[in-house]
Structure 1
């Protein structure tokens, strides 16, 4: 008798037979074991040829397009990785405050650029102080709201997970009941078949 196994069909499709297969009946008086075995194997071969899937169940899906969500930045970064180029370091030039060289001490334009750079640096520091003050005043409440939002998302995800697990469990029980029913019917049909074969043999 055959056991349940995942096997490949003639067109490459995969099928999983039911774990309930006809067991070779006990040979009747005057009947050889080979005859009953050949009959059972023949029925199984017919069932295999009849119930093989005709095509892959994923054939209706479109062809994968792995670059559909790539942006220009992602493409450039991937090209850099393929070319094995090192990552460019961020430019810190705008945060530098270089001193004037000896030849620029009498250059008004150089002095103006230096003053503008100093004012930009001071403004940057002032903005950082303002941000730190705003964080000290409002960050606690903002984080509390954010944490509550995360907890709500976790609860919803857990509910959805429990729902999916229940659906999977129900489906497994349904499949098991169907297979048990089919197994009992197959055994009943096998018993009837063995009885009819025995009667035909006695008549002959």
Structure 2
């Protein structure tokens, strides 16, 4: 980034041993835990330009999920669900709850003296009575055992919740360790880069001083080479 030091990390995207051709290496020139200057002018614009350039070069296919296969949307639909979805798609109103099964109708007016008609009505009443007795029995069973069943179910849910929370804490711990290791590695790498940079600056300074000294010595050598000629001319005049 904008820090005076720079770092280069080479990332390999595939393993040639698996039969895949290795793409060009990507050089990541950043140590986010060490670099500074992210708030300086032009840094955000430069990052956005890199993102835009990557977006222009990325050309996804029409169906980029093709390798996942076709989704099975209707695999778990029951007949009742299909009928209800069809009703919703046709914008039809929902049918009201039918109470006909709970009615005890008498024979129609034309069969008030028909024994078979009255017998069917009596059998219907027996069936309705048995149904109500079964409901009462189910309610009594729920009253006796339903509370314990729900307690066991709630206990199972609580155990599942505790296990999920433990897994979440473990994942957060792993993430924290990874971030700590990244920060530690980048901090050490940054310190090494700073030391190398200082060494480089010192060597560049020494080279500059040596070059300046060489220039001065060349000037002195040039002056010394001119002196004998001058002395020789003065002797000839005498």
Whether these two folds match at TM > 0.5 is yes
Q: Taking structure 2 as the reference length, what is the TM-score of the superposition? A: 0.52
Q: Per-residue deviation at 1:21? A: 4.4
Q: In angstroms, what is the RMSD of aligned CA positions?
A: 4.0
Whether the aligned pair in 1 keeps the contact of 2:111 and 2:117 (CA below 8 Å) is: yes
- Unpaired segments of 5 or more residues in structure 2? 4-27, 38-49, 213-238
Q: Taking structure 1 as the reference length, what is the TM-score of the superposition? A: 0.59
83-92 vs 121-130, which deviates more? 83-92
Instruction: Choose from 145, 168, 179 the match for 2:186.
Output: 179
Does structure 1 residue 2 correspond to structure 2 residue 15?
no
Match in the other structure for 1:116:
123
1:110-156 CA-to-partner distances (Å, cap 9, x unmatched) read: 32331221111100111122122222332333333333323322322
1:143-175 CA-to-partner distances (Å, cap 9, x unmatched) read: 333333233223222222222221121122122
Q: How many residues align?
A: 164
The equivalences for 1:7-156 within 5 A come to 17-19=30-32, 20-21=34-35, 62=68, 65=71, 67=73, 69-73=75-79, 74-156=81-163
CA distance in 2, matches of 1:104, 1:59: 68
CA distance in 2, matches of 1:138, 1:17: 64
Whether the aligned pair in 2 keeps the contact of 1:18 and 1:179 (CA below 8 Å) is: yes
Assess, with a 3 A threshold, how the Cα gap between structure 1 residues 119 and 155 changes in structure 2: closer, same or farther.
same
59-68 vs 140-149, which deviates more? 59-68
Match in the other structure for 2:228:
none
